[in-house]
């Protein structure tokens, strides 16, 4: 899943807080809803050679309300969060990332694409958004960092979603996405939908609790 950028980076994981591999920045671009977005990427950052298929499928599945408050959990170099910000022009996107190299790239990419309604915060999982809630949490979790961390992403979502809020998560069979789909179905009462499938990936949309339908 991750690209570690050669022998020097082989011992590092893209969930590493302070990567030590030599920097080798490069530019990449992709088209999103008629706009050409430009990004700078680097070694020891997930998907450093281009937009990975899972992230692309999740981005294609984004459909927030224009005013939604959105969390891009584990933002990497910022593809999901920047796309979400363009999809919710009257809302606000918070992008969190433990990998400081990735977070700095994401901040630069927010500026590069002239995104005014997004910000990047550095820290582990939900620590940078303590006490805050969102209408949508979108994530391509760091599956290679282990099951416990992915479950931390899922369990923490409950305390950070508004009553009608949703989690969008992408993964593929070899990453255990079916296991996490079953976990959600067993632990969350708000329902789960497979929004999209492709290339072995699937995008899950889930709500921790039933939506409040009272007036």
Taking the C-alpha atoms of residue 191 and residue 57, their distance in angstroms, rounded to an integer, is: 21
- Is residue 27 assigned to a domain? no
**pTM, to two decimals:** 0.88
- Is residue 83 assigned to a domain? yes
Look at residue 20 in the predicted model and tell me its pLDDT. Answer: 63
- Is residue 12 assigned to a domain? no
- CATH code, domain carrying 108: 3.40.50.150
- Is residue 135 assigned to a domain? yes
Taking the C-alpha atoms of residue 2 and residue 215, their distance in angstroms, rounded to an integer, is: 46
Give residue 139's domain range: 53-206
**How many domains is the chain partitioned into structurally?**
1
- Is residue 100 assigned to a domain? yes
Element (H, E) at 69: strand 69-73
In which band, very low, low, confident or very high, does the pLDDT at 50 lie, cut at 50, 70 and 90?
confident
- Is residue 109 assigned to a domain? yes
- Is residue 107 assigned to a domain? yes
- Is residue 29 assigned to a domain? no
Q: Which of 85-89, 157-161, 208-212 has the lowest mean pLDDT?
A: 208-212
Q: Which two tokens stand for residue 156?
A: 């923490």
In which band, very low, low, confident or very high, does the pLDDT at 126 lie, cut at 50, 70 and 90?
very high
Strand 92-97 versus strand 134-139 pairing type: unpaired
């Amino acid at each position: 899943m991750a690209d570690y950028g050669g022998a020097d980076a082989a011992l590092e994981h893209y969930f590493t807080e302070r990567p030590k591999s030599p920097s080798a920045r490069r530019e990449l671009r992709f088209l999103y809803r008629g706009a050409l977005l430009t990004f700078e990427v680097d070694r020891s950052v997930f998907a450093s050679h281009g937009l990975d298929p899972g992230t692309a499928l999740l981005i294609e599945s984004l459909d927030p309300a224009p005013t939604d408050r959105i969390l891009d959990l584990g933002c990497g170099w910022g593809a999901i969060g920047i796309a979400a910000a363009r999809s919710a022009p009257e809302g606000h996107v918070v992008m969190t990332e433990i990998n400081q190299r990735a977070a700095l790239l994401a901040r630069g990419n927010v500026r590069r694409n002239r995104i005014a309604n997004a910000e990047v915060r550095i820290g582990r999982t939900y620590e940078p958004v303590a006490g805050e809630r969102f209408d949508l949490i979108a994530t391509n979790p760091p599956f290679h960092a282990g099951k416990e961390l992915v479950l931390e992403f899922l369990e923490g979502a409950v305390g950070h979603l508004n009553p009608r809020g949703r989690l969008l998560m992408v993964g593929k069979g070899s990453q255990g996405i079916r296991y996490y789909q079953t976990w959600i179905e067993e632990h969350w009462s708000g329902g789960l939908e497979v929004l999209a499938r492709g290339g072995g990936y699937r995008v899950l949309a889930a709500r921790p609790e039933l939506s409040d339908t009272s007036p």
